[in-house]
Chain A
Amino acid sequence: MKISKLVQDIPPSGIRVFFELVLGMKDVISLGVGEPDFVTPWNIREKAIFSLEEGYTSYTSNKGMIELRREISRYLKNKYGMDYDPEEEILVTVGVSEGFDLAIRAITDRGDKVLIQEPTYVSYGPVATICGGRPVPVKTEPQNGFKITPGGIIGACDKKTKAIVLNYPNNPTGNSYSKKELKAIAAVVAKKNLTMVSDEIYCDLTYDFDHTPFPTLPGMKQRTIYLNGFSKAFAMTGWRIGYACGPKDVIAAMTKVHQYTMMCVPITSQMAAIEALKNGERSVAEMKREYKRRREFVISRLNEIGLCCHKPEGAFYAFPSIKKTGLSSLEFSSRLLKQEKVAVVPGTAFGASGEGYVRISYATGFDKLKEAMVRMERFLKSYIT
């Protein structure tokens, strides 16, 4: 079949081969997983099962069940002081993935440029391309903790620049932004008349300071499409459910696309999400405490065995430098996998500026983390002298 030029032109992922290698190998300790190792808390699963028994199997409102949108609104208000009208400013999406796609479709005209911090989560660029936009990577520097700076944004802007994508706490670096840093970014966003698409899926996993949602910054609510979901904090990746919040015109535009392409999010996931927001707080706090301990452990061990690593402020990733070994990210990851059966993700999976780094996920039990560090230490001894 003839494939469209647009899709043909999207380059295939360069590390697919490495992925196949990992998936084909047995007894690997994987530090390469981008999702929680916890199973969804039982009360949430039980609620979903019960809803099926009760016969909740229909479509819902395109925007998502109003009960759920009210819960989302209440949750954002209580936790972050955000103010979104459940009727017109919230849309329930199939994860942040769909939310992001809808956001870009809703605001991008052919040729519009979308700024994307790099290293970056893998989807943003290709989605921008599919939507007819032009992704523009904004390189970040390790000495700034891989954070985007106002100067970096200004340098990457031209007349065609429409929007900027921010993801914090960040996948893959684990970094986040303080309120002060965000204010500086907000000033540039306003000055350059940009729309902010803020992916804050890891916000509940912020360890060292309070997370500041971008729309809560002065003047930013009107400029921001806020994306969040249930995957990370509530360990609900497979349920595929998230939400987008924003000014009502943009939510209406996104809803228009969503109703024609997706119709609505599966009702079972919506029922589960209501339970998560109503009664999930304790589980989230427990998981967060556990992640924080693992973070301390992993960062301290990584630095000890010779992989220099800043302390990430959130999510469940560490992003250490492997430059001392003289290997490329891909070589390092492949050899580590073959020699010691430990899987990490080469930094280049997240853009060219990830070269010299690997992503380590600590969403794995302590026993495995300890063993993985022992193996990595042994591996490194043959490269670092």
Chain B
Amino acid sequence: MNEILEILEKDARTTPEEIARMTGIAPAAVRKEIKKLEKDGVILKYKAIVNKEISREDDSGVRALIEVRITPQKNLGFEHVAERIYQFPEVTSCYLMSGAYDLLVVVEGKSIHTVSNFVAEKLSPMENVRGTVTHFILKKYKEDGDILKQPERSKRPAITL
């Protein structure tokens, strides 16, 4: 795996100069490689991982996983329906799945009501959607490799030989 990517995936704030020091690659070459990764769309964007479990901003809203069964369209497969669904800003993730249903859609809303409305008014009536099953998320423990807890203090003594 590209080492520059590996470093940025751990901490997107790492500067090209720092990456250069860590890897022994020249700073100019690091900058060039990052530019290329951005241009090719390998690096889509840089953002902070916010722990909404403790941010308490607007009580952080509710999230639901929705299983969606759809009738694939001739020549278009699932792509077309998926696109119609994921364009909604309420949809934070959308996956095509194997198994008992077709799309797994993650929806975020202010309240249970907003999410229910979205399912009832937007998702279910959609042409080719055959059925939905909505699961509300009660608590997130870990997301994309990050444990959603306050960082713990190191338990090591400050100095040892």
- A contact set with B: CB distance below 8 Å: 19, 22-23, 28, 30, 32-35, 37, 121-122, 171-172, 289, 293-294, 296-297, 300-301, 343, 345, 349-350, 366, 370
For residues 123 through 161 of chain B, which have their beta carbon under 8 Å from a beta carbon of chain A?
154, 156-161
Contact status A366-B11, CB under 8 Å: yes
Q: Which residues of A contact B158 (CB under 8 A)?
A: 22-23, 28, 30, 32-33, 343
Q: Is B71 an interface residue (CB 8 A)?
A: no
Contact status B23-A33, CB under 8 Å: no
Contact status A33-B157, CB under 8 Å: yes
Q: Which residues of B contact A289 (CB under 8 A)?
A: 6
Chain A: which residue is nearest B20 at the CB level?
A300
B6, B154, B156, B161: which contacts A121 (Cβ < 8 A)?
B161
Alpha-carbon gap, A297 to B7, bound state (A): 13
Contact status A293-B159, CB under 8 Å: no
Contact status B160-A33, CB under 8 Å: yes
15 A-B pairs with C-beta separation under 8 A: A22-B159, A23-B158, A30-B159, A32-B158, A32-B160, A33-B157, A33-B158, A34-B160, A171-B161, A293-B7, A294-B22, A297-B21, A301-B21, A345-B161, A366-B11
**Which 6 A-B pairs rank lowest in CB-CB distance, beginning with the nearest?**
A32-B159, A293-B22, A30-B158, A300-B21, A34-B160, A297-B21
Chain A: which residue is nearest B156 at the CB level?
A33
Contact status A37-B156, CB under 8 Å: yes
Alpha-carbon gap, A350 to B161, bound state (A): 9
Q: Which residues of B contact A22 (CB under 8 A)?
A: 158-159
Q: How large is the interface on B (under 10, 10 to 19, 20 to 34, 35 or more residues)?
A: 10 to 19
Q: Is B24 an interface residue (CB 8 A)?
A: yes
Chain B contact residues: helix, strand, loop or mixed:
loop
Alpha-carbon gap, A245 to B157, bound state (A): 31
Chain A: which residue is nearest B14 at the CB level?
A366
Contact status A296-B21, CB under 8 Å: yes
Alpha-carbon gap, A342 to B23, bound state (A): 25
CB distance from A91 to the nearest CB of B (A): 25
B14, B21, B161: which contacts A34 (Cβ < 8 A)?
B161
Alpha-carbon gap, A23 to B24, bound state (A): 35
Contact status B157-A23, CB under 8 Å: yes
Alpha-carbon gap, A171 to B160, bound state (A): 12
Chain A: which residue is nearest B6 at the CB level?
A289
Alpha-carbon gap, A121 to B161, bound state (A): 7
- B contact set with A: CB distance below 8 Å: 6-7, 11, 14, 18, 21-24, 154, 156-161
Contact status B18-A33, CB under 8 Å: no
With A293-B7, A293-B23 known to touch, is A345 a contact of B18 (CB < 8 Å)?
A: no
Q: Which residues of A contact B22 (CB under 8 A)?
A: 293-294, 296-297
Contact status B24-A349, CB under 8 Å: no
Chain A: which residue is nearest B155 at the CB level?
A39
Q: Which residues of B contact A37 (CB under 8 A)?
A: 154, 156
Alpha-carbon gap, A34 to B161, bound state (A): 5
Contact status B159-A23, CB under 8 Å: yes
Q: Which residues of A contact B154 (CB under 8 A)?
A: 37
CB distance from A353 to the nearest CB of B (A): 16
Query: 17 other contacts beyond A296-B22, A296-B23, A350-B161, with CB at 8 A cut-off?
Result: A22-B159, A28-B158, A30-B158, A32-B158, A33-B159, A33-B160, A34-B160, A34-B161, A35-B160, A37-B154, A37-B156, A122-B161, A289-B6, A293-B22, A296-B24, A349-B161, A366-B11
Q: Which residues of B contact A300 (CB under 8 A)?
A: 21
Chain B: which residue is nearest A25 at the CB level?
B158
CB distance from A205 to the nearest CB of B (A): 16
Alpha-carbon gap, A221 to B161, bound state (A): 29
Q: Which residues of B contact A28 (CB under 8 A)?
A: 158
Chain A: which residue is nearest B13 at the CB level?
A367
Q: Which residues of B contact A171 (CB under 8 A)?
A: 161
CB distance from B161 to the nearest CB of A (A): 5
Q: Which residues of A contact B6 (CB under 8 A)?
A: 289
Alpha-carbon gap, A28 to B158, bound state (A): 8
Alpha-carbon gap, A343 to B23, bound state (A): 26
